[in-house]
Amino acid sequence: MTKPAFSFEFFPAKTEQGHEKLLSTYDELNKLSPAYFSVTYGAGGSTRSRTLDIVQALCARGDTDIAPHMSCIGDDKSEIAELLDLYKSLGISRLVALRGDLPSGQVDIGELPFALDLVKFIREHSGDHFRIEVAAYPEMHPQARSFELDVDNLVNKYKAGANASITQFFYNADSYLYLRERLEKRGIDTVAQPLVAGIMPITNSSNLMRFADSCGADIPRYVRKQLADFGDDSKAIREFGFEVVYRLCERLISEGVPAMHFYSMNKVEPNKRLIEALGLVHQ
């Protein structure tokens, strides 16, 4: 069976110390030979300089592809065009294109209100230079008017030029498989334009619940209940979390998932452990 490709997501650190630590995390995870690392971006430009700093530092550090995330809500086309040109000049050839969520208090949605508009704009401005990944939601985006309209939106993003999509994290493999089937029925060739599984390792109960609530990801009851039972026993949470995510990945691999994108949370251990246990490291 072909092993899926894998990649890691980082978020920009807030302090100089955090930035240095992230570089050493990169060095450790890079030894596993991932396909690429992506770096998140705060919508409305809230992490613009920090995202740029870490993207530039990572580009200078190794030869693994770096994929900056770009969001469009709240930004002008001119700001986005400037960033695209800068990324091109840095030798970047891959982007994760998102709408983003406006920081609270900010109301101006800007000239490109949806990720679909951003994908179209990138293709207009930069042609086929960038490989574009977009976001996908196996359990539906929380603001979508219906599941069907959310699938329409994803199909439209592929048709506008997205090369692949990366899912929000999920712990129910059937939700991923169902979305993949829906895309295929809508004429998307998921071999040529893959649906990449977004994988969130479980290491901390309260953070996980917070993320899940904010992005509409479902934590199955058997997971939620046991995490609650473990209280602050972090070792028990890590062991149980490893088992849950390992099983999820195993199932996805057996179902032919083409690639997995790990929400690394800027950590080495939980990601490395999963990748090694799943036998994903290419010799």
Which alpha helices (DSSP H) does the chain contain, by range?
16-30, 48-61, 77-89, 115-126, 147-159, 173-185, 205-215, 221-230, 234-254, 269-277
What is the residue type of 34?
A: P
Per rule CB under 6 A, is residue 141 in the interface with ligand FAD? Answer: yes
Q: Which is nearer to ligand FAD, 142 or 231 (CB)?
A: 142
Q: Which is nearer to ligand FAD, 50 or 69 (CB)?
A: 69
Per rule CB under 6 A, is residue 79 in the interface with ligand FAD? Answer: no
- Is residue 74 a contact partner of residue 104, using CB atoms and an 8 Å limit? no
The torsion angles phi and psi of 109, rounded to 5 degrees, stand at -80, -10
Q: Does 82 participate in catalysis according to the annotation?
A: no
Q: What token pair was written down for 129?
A: 């230079």
Q: Give the interface segment with ligand FAD, choosing from 95-103, 171-179, 184-192, 267-275 (CB under 6 A).
A: 95-103
Per rule CB under 6 A, is residue 252 in the interface with ligand FAD? Answer: no
Rounded distance between C-alpha atoms, residue 4 and residue 34, angstroms = 11
Rounded distance between C-alpha atoms, residue 245 and residue 274, angstroms = 8
Q: x-or-dash pattern for ligand FAD, window 45-64, by CB under 6 A? A: --------------------
- Is residue 216 a contact partner of residue 139, using CB atoms and an 8 Å limit? yes
Per rule CB under 6 A, is residue 166 in the interface with ligand FAD? Answer: yes
Q: How far is the CB of 67 from ligand FAD (least distance, A)?
A: 10
Per rule CB under 6 A, is residue 112 in the interface with ligand FAD? Answer: no
Per rule CB under 6 A, is residue 100 in the interface with ligand FAD? Answer: yes
Q: How far is the CB of 138 from ligand FAD (least distance, A)?
A: 10
- Is residue 68 a contact partner of residue 36, using CB atoms and an 8 Å limit? no
Q: How far is the CB of 61 from ligand FAD (least distance, A)?
A: 20
Per rule CB under 6 A, is residue 168 in the interface with ligand FAD? Answer: yes
Rounded distance between C-alpha atoms, residue 23 and residue 33, angstroms = 15
Residues 6+ apart with CB under 8 A from 92: 55, 59, 65, 66, 67, 68, 130
Per rule CB under 6 A, is residue 4 in the interface with ligand FAD? Answer: no
Q: How far is the CB of 226 from ligand FAD (least distance, A)?
A: 26
Q: How far is the CB of 92 from ligand FAD (least distance, A)?
A: 15
The torsion angles phi and psi of 213, rounded to 5 degrees, stand at -65, -40
- Is residue 202 a contact partner of residue 265, using CB atoms and an 8 Å limit? no
Q: Give the interface segment with ligand FAD, choosing from 18-26, 36-44, 176-184, 245-253 (CB under 6 A).
A: 36-44
> Which of 29, 96, 244, 260 is the binder for ligand FAD (CB under 6 A)?
96
How many chain residues bind ligand FAD (CB under 6 A)? Answer: 24
Residues annotated catalytic, as ranges: 9
Which residues are near ligand FAD by CB under 6 A? 40-43, 69, 71, 96, 98-101, 114-116, 135, 141, 143-144, 149-150, 153, 166, 168, 198
